Chain A
């Protein structure tokens, strides 16, 4: 089972980021790491969107991933980044397995509001937890990557390499997942739940599995963000953060896994420059960008590539 053409492109893009990391400034390495981490949460949102569900609470798992890294180091003394990420995934999967039982019964606005409610519950709990720094959160301790200690001025590059490698693995997995029977079944559920059942598939089982995988990927994004930022706070679970993930998902579109990464990079760059140039009205700039995307590219930035390919053929 060899790599598909688009998968080779993903590997090339990851290799290019790895090489560029040696020449780009630290601030750009940091921004790129955040974009990759956000893209992973966005991919979770995209997985749900493909099944016809919109989550306004993906920040829940993003936050759990982030806090797992922080708490693993602070309370358990774990320093290995991969182990910390793994702890976040385990905690996330356990919670998603529980919440998924309820959430997969709901559709449309009810699903969206319930996901938002759960993320806001976590936000409320964290705000009230003084041991976890309340609204200020707390700093993530020094971490290692297997035998390699990223400290000593190379931390931002190491986390970029880690994010790129993990991001590539997730992207390759999801590329196969979207083309698999279960990935296509999610699209089928969005279109016609009745037929899915009469084909002999359980829509709830499919949505449940899809929901758990989306949560796990979101958690990885949160873990990488906290490793890069060196800090976690309750706003990771706040609804506006979940809104940003939806924003990026709409910006990129659901056409390809790469769209989430491109859109996340564009979003972070636009936001960074909007804050720099229009400190009091940067939200308006983001709003205008979203408006333009919805009006002119309703299927997201990725539709530019597919349109170009269609014209060429």
Chain B
């Protein structure tokens, strides 16, 4: 399989605070990788560095064999790297269809096209297709503010997919979504991901979701990757149980629950 993302010595410091340090990761095309860790472990910092939101303090990032260090979100998107956000980044004053039409218009990358009406028959057809795939067609003509959180998450991911990426980074796709909805949401997303043959890296706190949808897990603690491997192996690791999942502490009667919250 082809290497799609490779980081070497990737680090980010905020003054004396180490947000991420010496992250060495290689992800091959088609992999679905989970990123776990407690709050402040460095998961989102890692995602932010890879997607050009945060410049790394040190280290290299290569996407599809070429360096992407220092590239902004726009150039990364054009290279095939797209992302969704922990808090959906949508245009609340626009309708769902306009949100999608805008994304489609942006992905066409033809300057003169920007002067045409945002809603064209082709864009509407493409928007309808992704809405159907995501199961949120009922909100097509609604304002984003009328959507529940789960549907907003799906719309955020749909927008990320419209750029036809090769790799998708999902930052906590199920956060803020009810327990009942989480599996439905992930089933929908994963079906579309598999249909499009995307490589996915996603941050997640719910271990049930991680076990169900990924084959490989990277566990973060205090800004470093403490374990990277097959899901069962990582979740069975003592250090991961102690620092990430909390199961060892749970066995001592102190904490029996999985960690929840943002990174």
Contact = CB atoms under 8 A, between A and B. Distances in A.
**Is the pairing of A and B real?**
yes
Interface in A177-198: 177, 179-185, 187-188, 191-192, 194-198
B91 A180 contact: no
Contacts of A181: 101-102, 105-106, 113-118
A196 B51 CA distance: 14
B127 interface: no
A199 interface: yes
Given A181-B116, A188-B102, A198 B91 contact: no
B98 A184 contact: yes
A37 B112 CA distance: 29
A187 B95 CA distance: 12
Contacts of A192: 89-91
Interface residues of B, number: 33
B93 A200 contact: no
- How big is chain A's contact interface, by range? 20 to 34
Most buried by A among B83, B106, B117: B106
Interface stretch (B37-45, B70-78, B129-137): B70-78
Given A181-B116, A191-B93, A194-B89, A199 B72 contact: no
Interface in A152-206: 176-177, 179-185, 187-188, 191-192, 194-202, 206
Most buried by B among A180, A182, A196, A197: A197
A192 B88 CA distance: 11
A199 B118 contact: no
A149 B140 CA distance: 56
B94 A200 contact: no
A178 B53 CA distance: 29
18 contacts: A179-B117, A180-B116, A181-B105, A183-B118, A184-B102, A185-B106, A188-B102, A191-B91, A191-B92, A194-B89, A195-B91, A195-B159, A197-B73, A198-B51, A198-B73, A198-B83, A200-B77, A201-B106
Interface of A: 176-177, 179-185, 187-188, 191-192, 194-202, 206
